[in-house]
Structure 1
Amino acid sequence: MFLKIVMNDVRRKKIITATVLVFIAMAVVLGSSATNIIANLMQSIAQLKTHAVPSDLTQMHIGSYDQGAVDALVAALGEHIAEQETMYLLNIEGSDIHFGANRTMVDTVQDISFVVQNQKFDFILDLDNRKLDIQAGEVAVPIYFMKTYGLSLGDVLRIESRGFRKEFVISEYARDFEMNSALASSKRFVINQADYDEMLEHQVGEMEYLIEFKLHEHGDLRTVRNAYREAGLPSNGPTIEGRLFSLFNALSDAAVVMVIVLISLLLVVVASLCIRLTFLATIDEDLREIGVMKAMGISKKDIRNVYLTKYKVVATIAGVLGYALSFLVVRAFNGNMRLYLSSDLSGSLQYVLSLFAPVAIYLIVVLYCRSVLGRIDGISATEALRSDIMQRGKHRKYRFPLLKNRFLDTSIYMGLRDVATRIKLYRLLFFIFIVCTFIAILPLNVFNTMNSPKFSTYMGIGQCDVRIDLRKTDTITADFERLLAELENDSDIEKHAAYITCSYPAMTADGRWDYILIETGDFSVFPLQYLEGTAPAEAGEISLSFAQASADGLDKKVGDTVVVQVGGVEKQLKVSGIYQDITNGGKTAKAGASLGLQHDAILWYMVNLDIALHADVSAKMAHYQSTYASAQVNGIKEYARQTMGNIIRQMGAIVIGGLAIAIVVMVLITALFLKMLLSKDMSQIAIMRSIGLSAKQIEHQYLAGTMAVLLPGIILGILAADYLGEILVSMAMSSMGAASIRFVGIAWQTWLVYPLLIIVVVGITLSLSCKIAVAEDLSVVLRS
């Protein structure tokens, strides 16, 4: 019986029912998509890790190397270390790698290494996650460079260095668990052993060592790391823990998931408000029928079930539809994952986890309907039968009388008066407009922030025009000094500052020694934004990154003391400030040049500079790049773009999707609201038309009322996206080392283009809805 009543109600209210179904289905699509992407991410990372067998601890080193000393450590720590393997990397400058129409990779911020496949673990795979086996004359190119430079299978790479010239044919793309991510600053090209030996024989590139350790299941990582350091083994380079590789691989897709989940939750809120809106309209229309059912003795529970069954059916259909459509959405967002992690995402886990969203949303909708339907219990049969008469004159005659209007157009005044007299109805629309604006603006704010030069401050870099990196080579110290001398005498350089990063032993909170990266230099030239405190300005001061200062790092706060060894001498440094840094696993530190250098542990040199307004930035960058071939010269925006490239691209898709969802929701909600309002007011509209008001004047009345809630809704939505959005994004980014994100907004987009687009869309929807309703035959309306 209930099903028959439901079907009759659906036929009678097709548009309202379809709108509710669309909202619930959209929430399910996004919810299922998010859980599906999470499932795929977990599955693909696990699959890639199984096939690649990454190291648990990796020490990068440039300089003299003694494998025998490393073997002795492995023998001594046999209870912790299962296997050890050293990969020999030939570092090639981007300017020495040619392809296409005389193009090079000189503009990359990545370190490029040519390697031979490992034998024990840390395997580099093809796109089918099979261990690469490269033949002579061939090369496997990292996916990052394939995407960046549009390289295809069969293309030719040419190495030209120190009079040596050799061509390689691209035979495979390399999927590298340890260095896939753009956040990993190095990339590995795989070649055949014979080609590698030939390059080594001709002294092509600079040798670097990847000293890798695979631990037993219960092996202690810190014990191995500290024993390695204490033994004085090669450590001229960063030390990387295995967990960071998984974090870097998950990062770009995880960022997308977080935004999709948030939009999905907001759509659940919108769907609930839509149900409330339609329910209020339905109850108002069905009051007489409710009165008749109560007068006939039908129980409250049975009356509630009439309405509840309808929403159960709608939620079930929307859940099935949304669940099916979610797999199409997932395919659109899984392209990055399929390329970098796994081509096969067909596991059963995604289908099981994706059911969570439709089930959860179904329960939320049903429970919310139960709470709203409680209003029926308070309506007696007599009130229900007489309610239409009671409502016609209730509080309308003496509130905001038209005679008191002195300044506004009559239609506009009547519209504003309608909002005031039916504030409970309009506040639902107001809140929905806030939520929709939030959905549209938040992804835009995140995208603009990540795409801004100011984002460098979250990478531990002061805002500047150009960044020059010098990595370890035989002539790095001489090149560094020569570069500083030239910058000092270059009138086109407005200001510059040099920084040197070394690895220093530091005492942890539990009294043990661990190695940390400390960057030394003058941090007043290109200041960072600090969460707490200030930059190290005096001798004996140090600033820590958020992750380094946390309990997982040194566990320090501003004013605490950090004990650091410099040249074997212990120094006590006072923590002057805490900043944000998402690079190098988020754990870095900064100190003044007075700290002194660990000359045997210098990792890299960096120079930041601002170029004078009258100078050509591109020409100046090209000059320094050609003069210092081993340097990496990049604009700071380009540096951030290359480092965060995948996340920025995916966030761009979310910006478009968020705007589309917001517009669709606003159109449907506005049309539904107007249909409900015009249905209630049909007799009044007929009276206004019979006394001479034009259809355009009546349309303006409803337009004014809706705009009265739309405009403040847009403003509050933008403010919520700015301030509440910052809090939500900061919570999500804190695990990466950025705990306080400040959005970089583009005012003409946020406050002009988006609001105008929303106003135009809502205005057109209002105009079309009013035209259809007002055009009905007057005689039919008056007779009813």
Structure 2
Amino acid sequence: MFSKMVRNDFLRNKVVTTAVFVFITMAVILAASAINNIANLIQSMAELQERAVPADITQMHSGEFDQSKIDQFTEEHPEYIAMQETMVLLTFDGSHIHFGADQTMAGTVQDISFVVQNEKFDFILDLNNEKLDVQEGEVAVPIYFMQQYDLQIGDTITVKNERYEKEFVISEYARDFEMNSSFTSSKRFVLNQTDYDEMLTMQAGVLEYLIEFKLQDGADSQAVQTAYIEAGLPANGPTVGGAVFLIFNALSDAAVAMVIILISILLIIIASLCIRLSFLATLDEDVREIGVMKAIGISKKDIKKVFLNKYRIMSVIAGVIGYLLSFVVVNLFNGNMKLYLSSDLSGNLKYVLSLAAPLLIYLMIVMYCKKVLKRIDNISAVEALRSSVMDSGKKRKYRLSLMKNHFFTTNIYMGIRDVWKRFKLYRLLFFIFIVSTFMVILPINIYNTMNSPEFSTYMGIGKSDMRIDLRKSDTISEDFIKLQEELQNDADIEKYAAHITSSYQVKNTEGSWDYINIEIGDFSVFPLKYLEGRAPEAEGEIAISYANASEDALNRKVGDDLIVKAGGKEQTLTVTGIYQDITNGGKTAKAHTSLGINPEAVLWYVVTMDVAPGVDTQEKMNYYQTNYDNAQVNDIKDYTQQTLGNIIDQMRTIVIGGIAIAFIVIILITALFLRMLLSKDMSQIAIMRSIGLTSQNIRHQYMAGTLLILLLGIIVGVLAANYLGEFLVSMAMSSMGAARIELVNVVWQTWLLCPLALMLVVGITIYVSCKVTVQDDLSVILRR
């Protein structure tokens, strides 16, 4: 009997059942896809790490050094160090790398280096995660450049400067554990030993070194770094731990998985509310049947079982379908992973972990249904047989009299009045409109923020029109001075600021010395937004990044002292401010020029500038790129986009997906809600039509009420996306060095385009949903 009742309920409520089923299925698809993505990420990262055998500590260095001292240091610490290897890099400016129809890589923000394969560890792999074996006359190109410049296997690149020129055939794409990510500022091209030796002999590029250590299992990397510094070994460059490379590799896909999980949670909430709407509609229709069942002695438990079984069956079927479809949908999100981490994602871990999504959602739906079904306990047999439970309760008086309406047409006013009278009923729809708007606006705001020039402030860079980075060369100091003199006399340049970044020793909380990258210059020209305090303005002042200020780093606050060693002398600096920076692991600092340059450890020379009004920025960029061979010239927007890499592209996919899901949700929920409302109001509709109101008049009333709820939902949803969204994004980004993200809100998108699109979709749904119902036979309805 009960199975027959469940089957009949399915057949009778096809629209309701379909809507609930779709939401549960979509929630399972997204949740399982996100878990699938995470499982693939864990598997691919483990495989890449196993094959590449990355270094645990990488010390970048430029300048001469004695390898024998490093060998001695390694031999003295066998309890910590398992292996040591020094990779020699030949670094070129992007303008010296030619490809295609006379194109160069001059616009790249990456340092380009040519290397040969390591012998012991830190191997560079092909797309099958096998060690690259490059033949003479060939080159393996980093995946980053393959994507950026659309380079294909079989194409050629030419390395050409005043000392050297040679053409290489692209034979493989290089998957580089340490330098895969766009967040790392260097990329390695792999050559055959013979070609590399020729390039080295001709002194074609600038020599740089990666002094790498592979530690024993369980060894303390910080202890090794401290011992390395105390031994006075070469360190003219940043030191990077293996954990940083791991984070950079996982960052893009992990961020995508987090956003998908958030959307999935929102869908589960919507599905739960949808079930509530469905149950209220069914309860209102079946209240007399429930009364009959109670009157003939059927227990409350068995009555609840009838309704609960429906959602149990629905959740199981939706769970199975969603679980299977998730393995198709996940391909929309793991393309980046297949390219950068592992081409083979066929492991079994994802099949097991992804089962958690349908099982968890099934339990949540069943528990929620049990809570909603407690309403049946309050229905007595007598009342159920006599009236509708939805109409029971204390009568209220309302002040919205039709006679007092002087602003709206009668139909619109009656729709608004209905919302006021029955807001408790409409509040479910109101909440769903808020969630749907949030689902649309938040991804758009994140995408706009990443594409905005303002995002440079989260990279420790003041907002400007152009940025010139001088690459390391024999004449870099002279070029830096010459560039500033030219900018001073260039009428097309409104203002500029020059900065030099060097590596310094800094005393940590334990009293030992660490290395820190400190930028000196005038920070008032292109100011940053500081979390606390201000920029360094006077002698003995320094500002540090949020990541450096944290307890697990330097553990400093505004007003604290920081001891820095510059030129062999210790200087005590006062922390004046804390700013956000997601580059270089988030650990940077900015100091007053009185600190002085550390000439043996200069890392970057950077000049930022604004062009005068009316000047073509691109034309000015081309001029300085042409006149300074060793310069990399970019506008700030292009610089941030190259650094963020494919996170922006993946975010674009999420924006499109979020909008599509939100529209599907709104269409189904609006149709479901109207079905419940029209079913409940059928007698009232019949009376209105009997006194002369047309179907169009009635439809306009429901449209006015629903669009009012939508308008209120949009307003709250946009505000939630702006403020709650900022909080959620800031929480996610705090681990990277940005603790207070201000999302960019493009007004015409968030307050005009998106609301109009939502209102159009809801308006069409209301028109279609009301069209059939309000034309039913009056005689049948009035006889009920």
Shorter-chain TM-score category?
over 0.9
- Contact 2:472 2:630 (8 Å CA) reproduced: no
- The 5 A counterparts of 1:313-712 are 313-388=313-388, 391=391, 395=395, 400-712=400-712
Offset of residue 485 of structure 1: 1.1
Residue aligning to 1:107: 107
Offset of residue 399 of structure 1: 6.2
Instruction: Describe the shift of the 1:163–1:541 C-alpha distance in structure 2 as closer, same or farther (beyond 3 A).
Output: closer
Matched residue SS, 1:170: strand
Instruction: Describe the shift of the 1:688–1:541 C-alpha distance in structure 2 as closer, same or farther (beyond 3 A).
Output: same
Amino acid corresponding to residue 222 of structure 1 in structure 2: Q
What is the distance in 1 between the residues matched to 2:248 and 2:631?
25
Residue aligning to 2:729: 729
What is the distance in 1 between the residues matched to 2:41 and 2:390?
59
- Contact 1:540 1:573 (8 Å CA) reproduced: yes
Residue aligning to 2:165: 165
- Contact 1:91 1:208 (8 Å CA) reproduced: yes
- Contact 1:471 1:603 (8 Å CA) reproduced: no
What is the distance in 2 between the residues matched to 1:171 and 1:257?
33
Matched residue SS, 2:368: helix
- Contact 1:59 1:212 (8 Å CA) reproduced: yes
What is the distance in 2 between the residues matched to 1:247 and 1:673?
45
* 1:277 and 2:277 matched: yes
Amino acid corresponding to residue 369 of structure 2 in structure 1: C
* 1:183 and 2:183 matched: yes
Amino acid corresponding to residue 582 of structure 2 in structure 1: I
Amino acid corresponding to residue 60 of structure 1 in structure 2: M
Amino acid corresponding to residue 473 of structure 2 in structure 1: T
Offset of residue 181 of structure 1: 0.3
Residue aligning to 2:94: 94
What is the distance in 2 between the residues matched to 1:626 and 1:255?
38
What is the distance in 1 between the residues matched to 2:57 and 2:444?
38
What is the distance in 1 between the residues matched to 2:769 and 2:300?
35
What is the distance in 2 between the residues matched to 1:256 and 1:366?
29
Residue aligning to 2:252: 252
Amino acid corresponding to residue 242 of structure 1 in structure 2: G
Amino acid corresponding to residue 2 of structure 2 in structure 1: F
What is the distance in 2 between the residues matched to 1:125 and 1:485?
45
Matched residue SS, 1:253: helix
Residue aligning to 1:59: 59
Matched residue SS, 2:136: coil
Offset of residue 375 of structure 1: 1.1
Question: Post-superposition, which runs of at least 4 consecutive aligned residues in structure 1 deviate over 6 A?
Answer: 396-399
What is the distance in 2 between the residues matched to 1:593 and 1:391?
76
- Contact 2:540 2:573 (8 Å CA) reproduced: yes
Residue aligning to 2:31: 31
Q: Residues 330-355 of structure 1: CA distance to partner in whole angstroms, max 9, x if unpaired?
A: 11100000000001111111111111
- Contact 2:163 2:203 (8 Å CA) reproduced: no
Instruction: Describe the shift of the 1:390–1:563 C-alpha distance in structure 2 as closer, same or farther (beyond 3 A).
Output: closer
Amino acid corresponding to residue 26 of structure 1 in structure 2: M
What is the distance in 1 between the residues matched to 2:398 and 2:629?
83
What is the distance in 2 between the residues matched to 1:744 and 1:756?
20
Instruction: Describe the shift of the 1:525–1:399 C-alpha distance in structure 2 as closer, same or farther (beyond 3 A).
Output: closer
Matched residue SS, 2:388: helix
What is the distance in 2 between the residues matched to 1:393 and 1:731?
45
**Of 164-173 and 771-780, the range deviating more from structure 2:** 771-780
**Of 241-250 and 474-483, the range deviating more from structure 2:** 474-483
- The 5 A counterparts of 1:65-214 are 65-214=65-214
- Contact 2:39 2:349 (8 Å CA) reproduced: yes
**Of 155-164 and 8-17, the range deviating more from structure 2:** 155-164
Matched residue SS, 1:69: helix
- Contact 1:62 1:472 (8 Å CA) reproduced: no
Amino acid corresponding to residue 217 of structure 1 in structure 2: D
Offset of residue 398 of structure 1: 6.9
What is the distance in 2 between the residues matched to 1:68 and 1:637?
45
What is the distance in 1 between the residues matched to 2:150 and 2:355?
38
What is the distance in 1 between the residues matched to 2:492 and 2:630?
22
What is the distance in 1 between the residues matched to 2:543 and 2:392?
70
With normalisation by structure 1, the TM-score equals 0.98
What is the distance in 1 between the residues matched to 2:517 and 2:451?
27
Q: Residues 142-198 of structure 1: CA distance to partner in whole angstroms, max 9, x if unpaired?
A: 000000000001001111111522111111000000000000100001110011111
Matched residue SS, 1:726: helix
What is the distance in 1 between the residues matched to 2:218 and 2:308?
55
What is the distance in 2 between the residues matched to 1:158 and 1:215?
38
Offset of residue 728 of structure 1: 0.3
Count of aligned pairs between the two proteins: 784
Residue aligning to 1:760: 760
Offset of residue 108 of structure 1: 0.6
Q: Residues 671-714 of structure 1: CA distance to partner in whole angstroms, max 9, x if unpaired?
A: 11111111122222222222221111111000011011110100
Q: Residues 555-604 of structure 1: CA distance to partner in whole angstroms, max 9, x if unpaired?
A: 11111111111112111111111100000001111111011121111111
* 1:305 and 2:299 matched: no
Offset of residue 235 of structure 1: 1.4
- Contact 2:93 2:471 (8 Å CA) reproduced: no
What is the distance in 2 between the residues matched to 1:390 and 1:312?
25
What is the distance in 1 between the residues matched to 2:458 and 2:428?
39
Amino acid corresponding to residue 520 of structure 1 in structure 2: I
What is the distance in 1 between the residues matched to 2:547 and 2:394?
62
- Contact 2:383 2:389 (8 Å CA) reproduced: no
Instruction: Describe the shift of the 1:394–1:773 C-alpha distance in structure 2 as closer, same or farther (beyond 3 A).
Output: farther
Offset of residue 227 of structure 1: 2.1
Offset of residue 249 of structure 1: 0.3
Q: Residues 84-119 of structure 1: CA distance to partner in whole angstroms, max 9, x if unpaired?
A: 111111111211111111111111110001111111
What is the distance in 1 between the residues matched to 2:470 and 2:298?
83
Residue aligning to 1:739: 739
Residue aligning to 1:771: 771
Offset of residue 614 of structure 1: 2.4
Amino acid corresponding to residue 748 of structure 2 in structure 1: W
**Of 76-85 and 426-435, the range deviating more from structure 2:** 76-85
Residue aligning to 2:749: 749
- Contact 1:547 1:736 (8 Å CA) reproduced: yes
Instruction: Describe the shift of the 1:397–1:234 C-alpha distance in structure 2 as closer, same or farther (beyond 3 A).
Output: closer
Offset of residue 406 of structure 1: 3.5
User: Cα RMSD between the aligned structures?
Assistant: 1.4
Unaligned 5+ residue runs, structure 2? none
With normalisation by structure 2, the TM-score equals 0.98
Percent sequence identity over matched residues? 65
Amino acid corresponding to residue 255 of structure 2 in structure 1: A
What is the distance in 2 between the residues matched to 1:3 and 1:60?
71
- Contact 1:143 1:173 (8 Å CA) reproduced: yes
What is the distance in 1 between the residues matched to 2:591 and 2:226?
23
Unaligned 5+ residue runs, structure 1? none
- Contact 1:399 1:421 (8 Å CA) reproduced: no
Matched residue SS, 2:275: helix
Offset of residue 396 of structure 1: 7.9
